């Protein structure tokens, strides 16, 4: 089977910044509480007229330049998101239109914060069997559009961003060494948006509380599952690749909470200098978190050719996944 590799990366974060001081004016919270409990100081928020697809287009332009690939070469677009511009058509279709990806098939993947790793696993499978040669995988979210800014337990966590990766067949020893995805739908109520689907449609006559169209989360319960499953998934891909945790050069975790990240690193016995962190500046950007962090880590020289890189994510569903790459 052909090994899939990341040929290029790009990312985008909106300009506007919401600081913890801003939240002190909006809800009953403090900079100290947010920093100690989450590690987040700032998050970026998209303009009202800036759609998820706009952020994706900006990220993709960087990825095209990085990979030396043209839009016409893309034969599949996979968009990992829970905040598409529309339910129909898919986010991937809108991106296709905005970037002129005339030769591509398109699909969205809904796996919350694990959306990018789920998308990457689909891309890897298509590359392995030879169906597609150049796949554009996004993790992108405009979480500000589904955040309840009156709920202090969730609003301080989330930010907006997009990340893009161009995936293709490896021509050297780089690429995906192992990838694993998993879900447990029995815990659907821990992190959800109650209204807006067929179960509780929003009809616009005021019959549904608008807050039900926003993210609801039982944070401390999600926390426990995240710590367990991120560690398990990470150990699994390392074992599947025939490696040991000490061989990992950089852990690039989903940036949900500094305490979850530290617990995951401790489980793998990885020192924190082998962990990439940008949570302080961007908060939890859900599916965008890992591709944004990967792109920044490469630009900062934290990932070099030949490095073993471990990505691991956890999100609503519940969903989780891990990927081990040789860069």
The CA distance from 325 to 162, in Å, is: 21
Strand pairing report for 175-183 and 216-217: unpaired
Contact 312, 113 (CB under 8 A): no
User: Least CB distance from residue 322 to ligand COA, whole Å?
Assistant: 14
310 and 324 Cβ atoms separated by less than 8 Å:
yes
Query: Does the annotation count 205 as an active-site position?
Result: no
Residue 105's Cβ-count burial label (10 Å; 0-12, 13-18, 19+) is middle
Q: In this chain, which residue has its C-beta nearest to ligand COA?
A: 219
Active-site pick, 113, 118, 180, 278:
113
CA distance 324 to 178: 5
The pattern of x and - marking residues 279 through 318 that bind ligand COA according to CB under 6 A reads: -----x-----------------------------xx---
113 is catalytic: yes
Which among 47-55, 127-135, 172-180, 252-260 is the span making contact with ligand COA, rule CB under 6 A?
Answer: 252-260
- Residue for token pair 């298509």: 126
Nearer to ligand COA, 34 or 308 (CB): 34
Nearest CA to 81 out of 58, 102, 107, 101 is that of: 107
Q: Which of 44, 180, 229, 254 is catalytic?
A: 254
Written as one string, the DSSP assignment of 207-234 is: -S-GGGGS-EE-HHHHHHHHHHHHHHHH
Q: Is 183 in the site for ligand COA (CB under 6 A)?
A: no
Q: Which of 37, 98, 262, 281 binds ligand COA (CB under 6 A)?
A: 37
Residues 6+ away with beta carbon under 8 Å from 16: 44, 45, 46, 47
**What six digits make up the tokens of 53?**
């697809």
- Tell me which residues in 140-179 interact with ligand COA (CB under 6 A): 152-153, 156
Smaller CB separation from ligand COA, 24 or 249: 24
Tokens representing residue 206 in the block: 């005021």
Query: CB under 6 A: which stretch of 90-98, 136-144, 220-228, 294-302 binds ligand COA?
Result: 220-228
Nearer to ligand COA, 99 or 256 (CB): 256
- Tell me the C-alpha distance between 220 and 261, whole Å: 15
Of 57, 58, 74, 113, the residue at the interface with ligand COA (CB under 6 A) is: 113
Work out whether strand 308-315 and strand 250-253 pair parallel, antiparallel, or are unpaired.
Answer: parallel
CA-nearest of 115, 113, 125 to 285 is: 113
User: Which of 219, 228, 249, 267 is the binder for ligand COA (CB under 6 A)?
Assistant: 219
Give the nearer residue to ligand COA in terms of CB position, either 118 or 326. Answer: 118
Q: What is the distance between the alpha carbons of residues 248 and 271, in angstroms, rounded to a whole number?
A: 11
Active-site residue, 187 included: no
Site string for ligand COA, 4-33 (x = CB under 6 A): -------------------------x---x
- Active-site residue set: 113, 254, 284
Give residues in contact with ligand COA (CB under 6 A): 29, 33-34, 37-38, 113, 152-153, 156, 217, 219-220, 222-223, 226, 254, 256-257, 260, 284, 314-315
């Amino acid at each position: 089977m052909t090994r899939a590799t990341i040929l290029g990366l790009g990312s985008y974060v909106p300009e506007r910044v919401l600081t913890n001081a801003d939240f002190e004016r909006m809800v009953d919270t403090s900079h100290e509480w947010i920093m100690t409990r989450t590690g987040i100081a700032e998050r970026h928020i998209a303009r009202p007229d800036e759609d998820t697809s706009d952020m994706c287009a900006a990220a993709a332009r960087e990825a095209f330049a990085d990979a030396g690939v043209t839009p016409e070469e893309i034969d599949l677009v996979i968009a990992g998101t829970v905040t598409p511009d529309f339910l129909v058509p898919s986010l991937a279709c809108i991106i296709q239109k905005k970037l002129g990806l005339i030769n591509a098939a398109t699909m969205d993947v809904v796996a919350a914060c694990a959306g990018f790793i789920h998308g990457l696993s689909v891309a890897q499978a298509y590359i392995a069997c030879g169906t597609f040669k150049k796949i554009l995988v996004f993790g992108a979210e405009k979480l500000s559009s589904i955040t309840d800014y009156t709920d202090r337990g969730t609003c301080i966590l989330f930010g907006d961003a997009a990340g893009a990766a161009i995936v293709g067949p490896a021509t050297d020893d780089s690429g995906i060494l192992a990838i694993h995805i998993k879900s447990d739908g029995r815990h659907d109520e821990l992190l959800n948006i109650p209204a807006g689907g067929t179960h509780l449609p929003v009809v616009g006559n005021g019959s549904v509380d608008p807050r039900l169209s926003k993210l609801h989360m039982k944070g401390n319960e999600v926390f426990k599952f995240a710590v367990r499953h991120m560690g398990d998934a990470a150990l699994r891909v390392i074992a599947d690749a025939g490696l040991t945790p000490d061989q990992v050069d950089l852990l690039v975790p989903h940036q949900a909470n500094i305490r979850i990240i530290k617990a995951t690193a401790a489980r793998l016995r990885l020192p924190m200098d082998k962990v990439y962190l940008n949570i302080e500046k961007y908060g939890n950007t859900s599916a965008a978190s890992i591709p944004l962090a990967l792109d920044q880590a490469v630009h900062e020289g934290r990932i070099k050719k030949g490095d073993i890189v471990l990505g691991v994510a956890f999100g609503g569903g519940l969903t989780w996944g891990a990927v081990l790459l040789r860069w």
